Amino acid sequence: MVAYNSIQAKNQAKTKTASKAASASKKSKSSNQSTNSRKSSSAASSNNSASSRQSTPELNDRQVGTLLSLYYWPDYFKGLIGDSGIYYGDDQQDGETYHYFTGNGDPTSVLYYQIDGDTITYRYVDVSNADCVADAPIATKTISLKRLVNDYYNTSAKRAEVNGYVAKLKPLSEIRSE
């Protein structure tokens, strides 16, 4: 895990207390995502006939990662993108290439994703039931690109917001050169 090793060299491992705080934050975010997911699902079903006629726009891997970040960790992403930054890169996991975004330098700040047509497979360290980050498993989930586009890229204002975030992303090589 290139991203983890590079960042870990720059930042020391988090304490068990920080892990529990991250776990509490993750649980809170999960609850908010569930509420947002229900709202998005309701809105998507009311516009289902219109969205089924729309084709998914051509997006690059950083645009897709930004849409996924707005879904998975919106507050974290928006807070870091304008502050210390979100970094991007590619890495091998289980013999497959994944793109990733990372922020603070610990394993919980890495969001791996892989694009396969309309299906986005994403992986993250799930600290929700772990005593510390080191004991946390890697969770793997999927979401449709069409859903992300419908939720975060369906108006000119949302497209401008997403593309503004994409312009602020930094390559991982900037961390390595510091």
Would you give per-residue pLDDT tens digits along the chain (178 residues)? 444 443 333 333 333 333 334 444 444 444 444 444 434 444 444 444 344 445 778 999 999 999 999 999 999 999 999 888 999 999 988 889 999 999 977 899 999 999 999 999 999 999 998 999 999 999 999 999 999 999 999 999 999 999 999 999 999 888 765 5
For residue 4, the surrounding DSSP H or E stretch is helix 2-10
The number of CA neighbours under 13 Å toward the Cβ of 49 is: 1
The strand order across the sheet containing 170-171 reads 138-144, 119-125, 110-116, 96-102, 87-93, 170-171
Model-level pTM? 0.69
The torsion angle over the Cα atoms of residues 57, 61, 67 and 72, rounded to 10 degrees, is 150
Check if the beta carbon of residue 144 is closer than 8 Å to that of residue 120: yes
Beta-bridge partners for 144 = 119
